[in-house]
Structure 1
């Protein structure tokens, strides 16, 4: 059974790639006219992003984690993240990895929650800093429906529906759920205090939490430079951070649809033409999602077979 389960990610991702082959071909055609040096830089920045995530994950627990397996798990989690919505795939892989490293379920889940919280805080802090540095980065007056590709309207509608659903779930929890959340929060708070009493763990946690969104923004910047998008670098970084914060409201697998739409809208608001913005988003997603997808699925299968996760 474990051998069969190890092959499932490869089969699912392979079918997904086949189903979206037209999109990949179109994006590859756009990238053929791009500056190869900047595309290679985008690949390098993407790889550094997995290192930043590994650093942040280590910062969520006191116990030292095996560095090689931790990095491989973060790479493999990218494939699992495209099978389930709202980051549940990556969370499940990391939860299993932490348990295999000897951490109990309560502490493992608290570590996952702490990572999500710190990464969200880091993303919002970077966005606020860049908005102060580039106050005119997003021109919301440029967002007319006629300027946006028609394919973005459905993801935008899903974003609004997702926001309503999340608010409803948060504002009306059941009494039993409230009690469980209070007990869970007490355990998590104890872990947070212990971690921040260790400067090495606190530094790893916050450097990784700030570094990952910064590297992702740098990845989009390098793609726009490769495609010669006429938008200032700082404005592109603001567009990415604003889009990623907005897309978090829509729990789609791997952010498909929600991230694409939010990035295109943000780039248009930053001053790019809709066609150029779509090409840049497509190139960015190919480098950060599609190219690593099959190798990540193979790595995930290998980690399952070797009982690492």
Structure 2
């Protein structure tokens, strides 16, 4: 009898303690939406009133460009990892990642959602982290190339005098940049606990990048999507400007969006709110009245951030509840 008792299987561990945590994770995005709505109620109302008076067809074009932006982001994510990802869940994760960006600054929310998604699909941690680095590198490089093309095309625009000042770069800016690069190199070289994971990540990233660039489909998804993303975002702003009757050419509005994002994109603010002032300033430099430029930026935020926020949060909660994230 005693041997039978010893050989009996242990009772299963109850998953009850994990359920409250998962429930809290599902409800946390909804709580963030409520807090955001209460703190930005006046801006949301003003944006809704102005959009109600705008041309609905141009707003529909802007909404379509917003949706295409999520498709482009999903293409870049797939192009940055050798493993094949389910297209539907990948697109849903990028839609949910937009809501996560309102909680964490500098795109960290979207990267964390994508990292959880990749880990849930069986992608190893090193490869998942390397894909995020490749995504960021491709996005930055493609946006820089697009901006350079616009700089060549719009050489006579007044905005060029604002974003490209005369004279050499300020010495403090160069000093900070050189100091940051040197400090990072010293830390990686001297601190052994940092050196091993960083070198391992670099090896994985380089190996994956070489493998991905031997596959034309991945190259097209990575670089085509990265090039389309800033152009689609600029088209959303241009569509809102056209809907509100802003007398600025379409190409200059897209150029203003690229310039503002480059100037203020490094500021760590949730949801890209630090870029709004730069957007207004850039549109004003193109000849738009300040009031009309402000209304355009508010309408842009309504289409890209405020309207997708609640459905994106619901999708994020659903993905957490379904254990996709």
Superposed CA deviations along residues 115-149 of structure 1, whole A, max 9, x for unmatched, are: 11101111111111112111123436679xxxxxx
Residue of structure 1 equivalent to 2:183:
172
Q: What's the offset of the Cα at 1:254?
A: 1.5
Task: Report the secondary structure of 2:81's partner residue.
Answer: coil
Task: Report the secondary structure of 2:84's partner residue.
Answer: coil
**Structure 1 CA distance, aligned partners of 2:179 and 2:44?**
37
Residue of structure 2 equivalent to 1:156:
none
Task: Report the secondary structure of 2:32's partner residue.
Answer: helix
Task: Report the secondary structure of 1:234's partner residue.
Answer: helix
Flag structure 1 segments of 5+ consecutive residues without an equivalent. Answer: 144-160
Say whether 1:88 aligns with 2:108.
yes
**Structure 1 CA distance, aligned partners of 2:314 and 2:175?**
37
Contact persistence 1:163–1:249 (CA under 8 A): no
**1:176-255 matched pairs, under 5 angstroms:** 176=191, 177=194, 180-255=197-272
Contact persistence 1:137–1:238 (CA under 8 A): no
Say whether 1:299 aligns with 2:315.
yes
Higher RCO (C-alpha under 8 Å, 6+ residues apart): 1
Q: What's the offset of the Cα at 1:171?
A: 3.9
**Structure 2 CA distance, aligned partners of 1:110 and 1:142?**
36
Count of aligned positions: 291
Contact persistence 2:105–2:271 (CA under 8 A): yes
**Structure 2 CA distance, aligned partners of 1:306 and 1:68?**
14
Residue of structure 1 equivalent to 2:286:
270
Contact persistence 2:129–2:201 (CA under 8 A): no
Q: What's the offset of the Cα at 1:12?
A: 1.1
**1:58-137 matched pairs, under 5 angstroms:** 58-137=78-157
TM-score normalised per structure 2: 0.85
Contact persistence 1:50–1:74 (CA under 8 A): yes
Q: What's the offset of the Cα at 1:97?
A: 0.3
Superposed CA deviations along residues 235-265 of structure 1, whole A, max 9, x for unmatched, are: 1110001111112210111111x11011111
Contact persistence 1:166–1:249 (CA under 8 A): no
